[in-house]
Amino acid sequence: MDETAANSVKATDDVKNEDVKKDDIRNEDVKKDDVKNVHREKIRQVYDEVGKVVVGQRGLVNRLMIALFTQSHILLEGVPGIAKTLTVSTLARVLHLAFQRIQFTPDLLPADLVGTMIYNQKTAKFEVKKGPIFANMILADEINRSPAKVQSALLEAMQEKSVTIGETTFELDRPFFVLATQNPVEQEGTYPLPEAQIDRFMMKVNVSYPSKDEEMEVMRRMANMRFDDSVDALLTQDDIFAIRDEINQVSISESLEKYIIELVYATRDPREYGLDDHAKYIEFGASPRASINLNKAAKAVAFFENRDYVLPEDIKEIAMDVLNHRILLNYEAEADGVITNHIIDAILNKVPINN
């Protein structure tokens, strides 16, 4: 074979190899898309599975999953008896996660939460007794009923993803997800969370009463003493980690990133955005954590809607829950009956999207 023919054969082989590589990449992309679709379908099934036990509250389940899949935590506020605890515990079973409910009381100690050292008389040594915080999903029920030192112990664990007992530091379980509840009705004997600590929660979700039809179904189910509250586990921990990676890959354009920044800045300097009537009510605006969490939550919303890119509507849908506990209003706002929701609505209507 002469040199020209050999070169021709080599060029043909190179083209074939290149085509094989392209086919492999295409097949890999198809596999990834198939896995994404499977995960999205499982997420849709989660709503129905939780619905076997909990009537309504789809919005709450949505927010819980957004926080879980973005490595965040959530604060729930609502009157007693509207299925906050039931929703969380049922979701934990559906997601196959270890669940612990901690009832916060005035006499609760940090050691009751994270654990302590116990003296073993048989071995004559101190041993570590881990607390209930060593679980995947923690429900901190009525967090504002315990003093600041207990609240700080929980919030430090949320931030560091580890706790120290004695001289040993222990990593918390993965995934680690905290849901704290507050009762807005009773204020006597409570210890309100400081603003700096509330800021650590991705969202504050206000849980409302069920509708008449929903309450009728609640009554029928709960009055039936043979009601079956069993559910199937639909996701594994590997699925949760995979979904987190998929949400992280959702794209957000630079114009929408700038839109998030403008929304947050409007809470700090409303007059710059023509919100003179609302500026007098704002004591402090949202922190940079608001920008971070708006970005992450919007990606999760887009993923749940079968998209790999964020739309302005995704940001607007989540903005209320991400911002409502990060804007501190003054006494004038309280006197005039202005709440943070009014401020956020005005900001969303006023701040333009730069295309």
> What is the set of domains in the chain, with CATH numbers?
37-248 (3.40.50.300), 251-355 (1.10.8.80)
- Percentages (nearest 5) of helix, strand, coil residues in the chain: 55, 15, 30
Dihedral pair phi/psi, residue 235, rounded to 5°: -125, 150
How many Å separate Cα 182 from the centre of its chain? 17
Segment 269-320, tens digit of pLDDT: 888 888 888 888 888 888 999 999 999 999 999 999 999 999 999 999 999 9
Segment 90-139, tens digit of pLDDT: 888 898 888 889 888 888 888 888 888 888 888 888 888 888 888 888 89
Segment 205-251, tens digit of pLDDT: 988 888 888 889 888 888 888 887 788 888 888 899 999 999 999 99
The residue among 71, 54, 78 whose CA lies nearest residue 181 is: 78
Is this structure's pTM higher than 0.85?
Answer: no
Structure confidence at residue 30 (pLDDT): 53
Structure confidence at residue 261 (pLDDT): 93
Q: 3-state class of 180 per DSSP?
A: strand
Measured CA to CA, the distance from residue 68 to residue 151 in angstroms comes to: 21
